Amino acid sequence: MAKIGLSERMYLQYLRTKFKTLALVSPATAGKIAVDLFCTPYPKYKKKKAPAIFHQATPLTVTLPDGIQLKGFEWTSQKSNNKTVLISHGYASYGYKFEQYVGPLLKMGYRVLIFDAPGHGLSQGKYIHILIYLNAIEQIIKAVGPVDHFIGHSLGGITLAMLAETIPNPEQHKFVLIAPATKTTTTFNNYFNMMRFSESIKTAFLEVLATKTKHPITYFEADRAIEKYTGPILWVHDAEDKVCPYKDLINFQEKAPKNINFLITKGLGHNKVYKTQAVIDKIMAFLAPED
């Protein structure tokens, strides 16, 4: 994991002390606050200057049923193939980070859509988790779709895996999942370890989460979601990913159906893997329109 600065370390220590004290008084309250904290993206977006290619896009706004506005961008190709690709970024990220993907997709004739997730980038909202993100993507498709193919990194990747599970006519859609959370239990355990939660807080956390999602946490796993998907999938993962460990993928990779292709890199970690040109080239080859 990346090193954190002094201010982040001090804040983390403050939170650990706060939860330790709160757990003595009310583990249930501590669990609720722990869930809220987990679902609140930390503010890494600092009004970053838009990359040049985003000035060539048409700005879009999609309003969710709860009133939250999602901000996105649309590009159309001069040699349209009448198909659309939607790109979904990861946790504490934003659409600008996928600037390298737009040009190659346009050259292949695709219409390209990139939206900032709720609570991220230019979009409104405070909280994010898989179901919030999934609902947002479904609303985007309703508002500015249809969407044919999908690219998602990290949280965006596992959310797209959940979408793939129920999408009609799967053979007509291609999914690129980049470093998704194969096992959400690993994500939670990393959070618990970082915060040094007691067993009482962990239990309360999982109970609160279950009431919000109506599913056990094992339901929110990329491998489970796509194990019966019959359309083409490219799963990109780095062997040294410390956020979504590759070891969680190995068993599924060995038994995965043939429609799922795996691109396993080494030394790129969780974030460089989607920014590396060689990886982008292979993603574009996978998405190349069929003659």
- For residue range 99-137, list pLDDT tens digits in order: 999 999 999 999 999 999 999 999 999 999 999 999 999
* Whole-angstrom distance, CA of residue 47 vs CA of residue 64: 23
pLDDT, one tens digit per residue, over 184-243 is: 889 999 999 999 999 999 999 999 988 888 888 889 999 999 999 999 999 999 999 999
- pTM equals 0.93
**CATH superfamily, with its number, for domain 48-183+221-287:** Alpha/Beta hydrolase fold, catalytic domain (3.40.50.1820)
pLDDT, one tens digit per residue, over 41-87 is: 876 555 678 999 999 999 999 999 999 999 999 999 999 999 999 99
pLDDT (0 to 100) of residue 47: 62
pLDDT (0 to 100) of residue 2: 43
pLDDT, one tens digit per residue, over 130-169 is: 999 999 999 999 999 999 999 999 999 999 999 999 999 9
Element (DSSP H or E) covering residue 264: strand 260-265
Lowest mean pLDDT among 14-18, 56-60, 94-98, 263-267: 14-18
* Whole-angstrom distance, CA of residue 176 vs CA of residue 259: 12
**CATH 3.40.50.1820 location in the chain:** 48-183+221-287
Name, in order, each residue with C-beta under 8 angstroms of 52's C-beta and a sequence gap of 6 or more: none
Q: Contact, 234 vs 173, CB < 8 A? A: no
pLDDT (0 to 100) of residue 189: 92
